[in-house]
Amino acid sequence: MKKILIINSNYYRNVSKNLVLDTRKKLNAAKFKISIMDVPGIYEIPITIRKNIKKFDGFVALGCVIRGQTPHFDLICSSTFNAILNLSINFNKPIGNGIITALNMSQAISRSKKKNNTKSKGSEAANAVISILKNGPKKV
């Protein structure tokens, strides 16, 4: 059974709770073994993945960053997303990025929940990992 680590930045708890619930539901349905680690912010996600890279088959990064009045948003998002991509490529492990980048809390909450036929950012990230781990090359 494939093992997945969900790294949950719980800085905005009402957003991350929704993301975790949807992600767990999707990964459970796909029959993966799931572990969860909470971190204080998204900046701690890459080091948490790196420390656990050999223990898991894939990862799902969850969290939220809301744009403020300073360049902090751009710097944190850019460096975190680049680090996640580099880890995935360098270690050949799928990492679903379910980190919400939003302009305000209302937008963040909306993107963290599944509504009607839309997927939450968490289930989208889980789908990315599932598709890589379950789908191999097909003979033509």
Question: Element (H or E) spanning 11, and its range?
Answer: none
| Residue from 29, 72, 78, 86 carrying the catalytic annotation | 72
Report the C-alpha gap between 77 and 57 in whole angstroms: 24
Please report, as a single letter, which amino acid is at residue 25.
K
Q: Are 123 and 25 in contact (CB under 8 A)?
A: yes
- Give catalytic status of residue 26 as yes or no: no
SS3 60: strand
Phi, psi of 138 (to 5 degrees): -110, 140
What amino acid positions are annotated as catalytic residues? Answer: 72
